[in-house]
């Protein structure tokens, strides 16, 4: 599959996303499905209450339509879509509980975890049946580790950690969307170089859809992606890393998601052990907001950091 075809599919996904997003915003407003805002968050976020959510449906729809129009039938593509849309469904149920049942925390954590474990189990079975390699490249070492039967334990960890990392990052207008775009572009390049055009096409259509969505998600956001979008993007990044055999490089490319997650873990641990907080507020992007940074400063800073991490990963892979 020539790169030009992937680029055209990306443009198609972008055009669909830009075109349907205003209609989706009107629909969500009529259904009164607005975002619930945490009362303990930054005060300037309180004005965002009621902003239409579930916007992840927009870029997922545009991506799937683009793939249906241009993509050949491919087992790898079906696997990628299964993991992505499966996590999107869990996210949608979470969003529905949030906006319809007025539960700002959405689904219970164990319900999300159970759904993601089912997705991971099905993925593992499919990969093993297809004779998929269990080798893992170790970043900066240039060696491949063979975990063998321990590999199935890694797959759910990758999916759960990445989806939750993207979900935690989705707290400022455009932050998670832009960060995911940069990371997906990294995996698009990795997939092309590794001879996996279907995975590259999958990443490309998501990039196009997310760019179109970003037009309306930038500050001041007219729509939020919700857990529908953040869990879907986390699933997409996880499965892209698994299919390209760059599982541990996801830790580098998705470094911002790792940092955001660690900030929450450290904050909770510190408060429980000492009664003191390390950050003014977690996840980390809220800490910088509380320090007086504008949303635009935080977003562009985190985008830049993601770009740097992605370049480092590509250079180490020898594909930069």
Looking at residue 320, what is its pLDDT?
A: 45
* Total of domains in the chain: 1
Residue 317's pLDDT is: 92
Full domain range(s) for residue 231: 3-317
- 101-127 pLDDT tens trace: 655 556 788 999 999 999 999 999 999
The CA distance from 205 to 38, in Å, is: 32
Burial class (CB in 10 A: 0-12, 13-18, 19+), 181: buried
Q: What is the pLDDT of residue 318?
A: 85
pLDDT of residue 97: 84
Angle between helical axes of 151-169 and 226-243 (0-180°, round to 10): 140
pLDDT at 99: 78
The average pLDDT across 153-176 equals 96
Q: Encoding tokens for residue 228?
A: 């529908």
Work out the average pLDDT over 57-61. Answer: 98
Provide the β-strand partners of residue 137. Answer: 144
| Mean pLDDT, rounded, for 288-316 | 96
Query: How far are the Cα atoms of 16, 25, 166, 223, 232 from residue 20, in angstroms, in the given order?
Result: 6, 9, 24, 12, 19
* Band of residue 164 on the pLDDT scale cut at 50, 70, 90: very high
* Residue 156 reports pLDDT greater than 70: yes
Q: Rounded distance, CA 248 to CA 258, Å?
A: 12
Considering just the CA atoms, what is the radius of gyration of the chain in Å? 19
Q: For 208-257, give the DSSP string.
A: HHHHHHHHHHSSSPS---HHHHHHHHHHHHHHHHHHTT-TTHHHHHTHHH
**For the segment 69-104, what is each residue's pLDDT rounded down to a tens digit?**
998 889 999 999 999 999 999 999 999 888 776 555
Please state, rounded to an integer, the average pLDDT across all residues of the chain. 92
Q: Are 6 and 197 in contact (CB under 8 A)?
A: yes
Which residue in this structure is represented by tokens 């400022």?
172
Tens digit of each residue's pLDDT (9 = 90 or more) over 233-287: 999 999 999 999 999 999 999 999 999 999 999 999 999 999 999 999 999 999 9
For 197-222, the pLDDT digits (tens) are: 999 999 999 999 999 999 999 999 99
Q: 48: which DSSP letter?
A: G
């Amino acid at each position: 599959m020539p790169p030009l075809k992937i680029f055209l599919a990306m443009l198609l996904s972008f055009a669909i996303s830009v075109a349907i997003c205003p209609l989706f915003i009107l629909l969500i407003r009529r259904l009164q499905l607005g975002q619930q805002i945490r009362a303990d968050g930054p005060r300037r976020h309180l004005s965002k209450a009621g902003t239409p959510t579930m916007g992840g449906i927009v870029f997922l729809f545009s991506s799937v339509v683009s793939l249906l129009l241009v993509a050949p039938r491919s087992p790898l593509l079906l696997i990628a879509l299964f993991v992505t849309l499966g996590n999107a469904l869990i996210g949608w149920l979470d969003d529905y509980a949030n906006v319809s049942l007025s539960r700002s925390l959405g689904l219970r954590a164990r319900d999300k975890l159970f759904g993601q474990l089912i997705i991971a189990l099905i993925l593992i079975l499919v990969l093993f049946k297809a004779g998929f390699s269990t080798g893992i490249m170790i970043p900066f070492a240039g060696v491949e580790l063979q975990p063998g039967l321990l590999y199935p334990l890694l797959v759910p960890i990758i999916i759960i950690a990445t989806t939750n990392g993207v979900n935690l990052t989705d707290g400022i207008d455009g932050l998670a969307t832009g960060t995911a775009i940069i990371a997906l572009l990294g995996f698009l390049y990795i997939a092309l170089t590794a001879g996996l055009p279907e995975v590259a096409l999958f990443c490309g259509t998501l990039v196009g859809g997310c760019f179109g969505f970003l037009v309306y998600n930038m500050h001041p956001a007219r729509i939020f992606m919700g857990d529908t979008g953040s869990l879907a993007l986390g699933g997409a990044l996880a499965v892209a890393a698994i299919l390209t055999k760059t599982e541990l490089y996801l830790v580098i490319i998705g470094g911002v998601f790792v940092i955001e997650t660690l900030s929450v873990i450290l904050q909770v641990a510190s408060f429980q052990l000492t009664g003191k907080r390390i950050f003014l507020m977690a996840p980390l992007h809220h800490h910088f907001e509380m320090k007086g940074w504008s949303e635009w400063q935080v977003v562009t800073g985190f985008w830049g950091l993601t770009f740097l991490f992605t370049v480092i990963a590509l250079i180490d892979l020898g594909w930069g």
